[in-house]
């Protein structure tokens, strides 16, 4: 049986990864970075390196990875990894709610299939 502490570590780690994706997308969508990308990747690098949302995204990924290491130290990866499927759902939901992305029925269905597939693999 999984302890509440381990389940909490898993959920916080997955949540941090989902929020990291949103922060990175927001940062990379900035007009300054988009203009730099249009001029060439080398022109965009200074803007990317100085964007606070890009830094936030990387920081959240790093912290989430550290938490994930704590999870892997306590339970089998086959028991922990199915929870990563929640990240697909969270990232999609955050994209819709925070970035105004369009949620089509097909996109929702596909994302749910991926999450279901991960859970089914974990059961077998």
DSSP string, 39-92: H-HHHHHHHHHT-HHHHHHHHHHHHHHHHHHHHHTTS-HHHHGGGGHHHHHHHH
Q: 37-92, pLDDT tens digit by residue?
A: 999 888 889 999 999 999 999 999 999 999 999 999 999 998 888 888 888 889 99
pTM of the model: 0.88
The residue among 59, 103, 74 whose CA lies nearest residue 2 is 74
Q: 13-28, pLDDT tens digit by residue?
A: 999 999 999 999 999 9
Strand, helix or coil at 26?
Answer: helix
């Amino acid at each position: 049986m999984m302890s509440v502490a381990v389940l909490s570590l898993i959920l916080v780690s997955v949540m941090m990864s989902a929020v990291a994706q949103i922060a990175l997308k927001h940062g990379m969508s900035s007009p300054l970075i988009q203009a730099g990308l249009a001029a060439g990747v080398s022109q965009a690098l200074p803007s990317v390196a100085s964007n606070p949302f890009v830094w936030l995204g990387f920081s959240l990924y790093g912290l989430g990875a550290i938490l994930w290491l704590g999870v892997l130290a306590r339970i089998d990866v086959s028991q922990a990894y199915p929870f990563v499927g929640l990240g697909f759902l969270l990232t999609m939901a955050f994209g819709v709610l925070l970035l105004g992305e369009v949620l089509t029925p097909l996109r929702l269905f596909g994302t749910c299939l991926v999450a279901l597939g991960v859970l089914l693999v974990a059961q077998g």
